[in-house]
Chain A
């Protein structure tokens, strides 16, 4: 069809009625002229008209042919069917409501989860040509995932030798106390190399970014600030450029301001950027640089990786002792992929759960449609008799189900719009979701696409079975018992069994996740987490870099805190348990094994720390007030330290050393292991030293990267206590802010936040699925009872007891339930491996979970059959037989 003709048809479809009227006029003119012709030949008027009509041919056929020609028949039919569908849905409000709620829940949940998936995987990152952004990683023979941290040496070597990237930037996170008007505020920042801004493709709102002169060791202290900070500190005044801000007590000159729309892919917003000054010292001496690159146009990540590996080979030759045995090479991974990687398994899990719910909703709706269809046998038969082909009937029925589905999608989107913020609030903070989660065009499009597919899916079976109407049968008796009835009954049973199976799978998943959560919560963290509040602060900077200043501050602070009413104890530690801490190299001076520069975790703590935290000292002693500067150097180590470095020998009395320049330290106590870096990792060696005896070098490193914590034990509500603690410390030093407070209970709970969320999600979806499955069973058993009233009537008349009738009906429902549970259980057992990485403390074939879920579902099936069963029992046999 030519374009012109297509356009003509489109306009024709819209002006349909007008064109029809025109045709009427034309036809009547034509007939009049023909009749006149016959009259002129002498025929009487009536005969002339009849002859005219005969000569003309069938007017109706002409009109039909004309209508098909003038417009877009397919479109018009669909619109017509849709209108009819909406009318007929309005006539059966009960069915429509049930179907809409079911579909709304299923499609809404899917839309909500999809909007998260969209934000993480699909929406391009908010940078210039984001598909050319790649992150640099190191690959190992021993693990599948690349490591993303690099040393300064490696970064600089690759930066200088790679040609397939336009720019290669390095950065790491850093926090500062920013001096504000009357105090200080802790801000998140990044130390970035000069290429950082080119890599991300961002231009300054005002001022400039770092030049090569800024980004070298010994360069000037400059800073680029965020738009938000500019507004807060400078009121948006352009004179901010060139003025000074104090970061960790050092003045920095502001040289540039970021545009307002710039965001970093980090969990906290970044307020300041300082030059990285890449080197092999400081953070550059460890694997602390994150390296990001921008590919040259036309270069693929694979090509860049290949070149990078050649460069790496050269690096290995030049610096063989800086490369680990197990390292196999380097890799460039698209940045968005890296960001999404940590949360991908969890999102796929959510998607799987939500898809199951959607399938359950489909099965339920299909079942409802089948039930409704069995009452429309006569209508279908009439349509067929009037000339509708099978295809036309199926088309009409599918239009109905798709219309229903779209309406369900609209309701679902309302659910999703309301539910997405709720979902985000419940999601663990460790889910790396950096972009806005919202219902945008993509989500809308996909939702309606899903609705279309859903509508066809649940509408197909009923459409196929309804359109197969046997005309003769349909017109007999009441037209509701078509021969397709038997087939549709089996179909419905299959659907309900399917629903129950899916529900079983969901609930088994929920059960396993519940047990996982419970197991995690029961893990002993190694300390008493009740009633403890920790306030973190960054001691980075000049003021507390000397042990004397630090200890004076701590002594004053602890005294004040211990005087707060209700406080039972207070201590300071350089890193609370479970969270990451500093690690150092330790050498054992007189142990049974050779231990030189071994890695150990390290903390400083005040006297009374162990007692307050409830960490048992297994052998020897804890710190005393007498362990001060000038007294004998002491340390307490944990069990793992002893196991790794001393084997069977008791570490107490032996001496260790942390630095070349430092003195020897005697081990005076062994403490029980506490969990470090999470609740489920293997124990790591850990040594504690009294804060009064730390070396200034160690303090500088510790304070630069890890917050120090003030821990208080009290029987007071946390928020009030936190305010009080904040107040007391502010009185000593107003320039030293706390970054955040949390109870140790919260710190522990953070470790199983993911598991808690996943459990809650599965439980919620499983619960909804259970309701739907119960409704499905109820509907089917109800229908079956109503179909068999005559049979029950006869049985009652012949003396069947209430018990037998009840049993008979309940068995129907129970069988459906049992079959579904068996199928679902089998599938869950076979496919359980998929869930393995999410579980802890429970296997994928946990008997208890399977059994409980099975029993619950069968019980629910029985209960759902109870109402129809009671109805069957109460049948009046006389009335039933008369039906």
Chain B
């Protein structure tokens, strides 16, 4: 099943970006979007452009920081990295998701058993 593009919530995009940066370290916008696509096995097809306002919002909140650098193929690109506050936020949100997943799992699991 392919999720329609517009249904990816803002909050989940934030979490995906934070996790990506946590796992793979500093990356530029293109890289982040590629990684998200890769991991979701193309089930999530967001408009790649919507990433940029999201990145700005995360930066405004102090969870990521940006720096201009040079990419692998010698092009000028803006790199984003996780900050300490961002790592804390990532933990908090992961925890939150985990709780939801557990509850839903138990709920749906029970029904499944029945």
Residue A878 is within 8 A (CB to CB) of chain B in the complex? no
CB-based nearest A residue for B48: A56
Residue B47 is within 8 A (CB to CB) of chain A in the complex? yes
- How many interface contacts (CB-CB < 8 Å) are there between A and B? 67
Residue A144 is within 8 A (CB to CB) of chain B in the complex? no
Residue A27 is within 8 A (CB to CB) of chain B in the complex? yes
Residue B60 is within 8 A (CB to CB) of chain A in the complex? yes
Residue A91 is within 8 A (CB to CB) of chain B in the complex? no
Contact B56 A57, beta carbon cutoff 8 Å? no
Residue A327 is within 8 A (CB to CB) of chain B in the complex? no
Contact B60 A57, beta carbon cutoff 8 Å? no
- A56 CB to closest chain B CB (Å) equals 5
How many residues does chain B have at the interface if contact means C-beta atoms less than 8 Å apart?
21
8 Å CB contact of B60 from A8, A34, A59, A62? A8
Contact A34 B30, beta carbon cutoff 8 Å? yes
Binding-face segment, A65-73, A98-106, A210-218, A837-845: A65-73
Contact A22 B78, beta carbon cutoff 8 Å? yes
Contact residues in A for B59 (Cβ distance below 8 Å): 8
8 Å CB contact of B53 from A32, A33, A62? A62
Contact B48 A5, beta carbon cutoff 8 Å? no
Q: B1-50: which have CB < 8 Å to A?
A: 28-30, 33, 47-50
CB-based nearest A residue for B33: A30
Residue A25 is within 8 A (CB to CB) of chain B in the complex? yes
Residue A799 is within 8 A (CB to CB) of chain B in the complex? no
Contact B61 A59, beta carbon cutoff 8 Å? no
8 Å CB contact of A4 from B29, B62, B78? B62
Chain A: interface secondary structure? helix
Contact residues in A for B62 (Cβ distance below 8 Å): 4-5
Complex Cα spacing A66 to B61, Å: 15
Residue B98 is within 8 A (CB to CB) of chain A in the complex? no
Contact B53 A69, beta carbon cutoff 8 Å? yes
Residue A379 is within 8 A (CB to CB) of chain B in the complex? no
Contact B52 A66, beta carbon cutoff 8 Å? yes
Contact B76 A5, beta carbon cutoff 8 Å? no
Known A-B contacts A34-B30, A65-B53, A70-B56; the reply to A55 vs B78 at CB < 8 A is: no
Contact residues in A for B29 (Cβ distance below 8 Å): 26, 29-30
Interface flags for A825-866 (1: CB within 8 Å of B; 0: not) read 000000000000000000000000000000000000000000
- A57 CB to closest chain B CB (Å) equals 3
- B57 CB to closest chain A CB (Å) equals 6
Complex Cα spacing A347 to B49, Å: 64
Residue A9 is within 8 A (CB to CB) of chain B in the complex? yes
Residue A346 is within 8 A (CB to CB) of chain B in the complex? no
Complex Cα spacing A5 to B49, Å: 22
Complex Cα spacing A34 to B37, Å: 13
Contact residues in A for B28 (Cβ distance below 8 Å): 26, 29
Contact A58 B76, beta carbon cutoff 8 Å? no
Residue A23 is within 8 A (CB to CB) of chain B in the complex? yes
Contact B52 A23, beta carbon cutoff 8 Å? yes
The 9 closest A-B pairs by CB, nearest first: A57-B47, A62-B49, A8-B60, A57-B49, A65-B53, A33-B30, A69-B53, A5-B60, A30-B30
A interface residues, Cβ below 8 angstroms from B: 2, 4-5, 8-9, 12, 22-23, 25-27, 29-30, 32-34, 55-59, 61-62, 65-66, 68-70
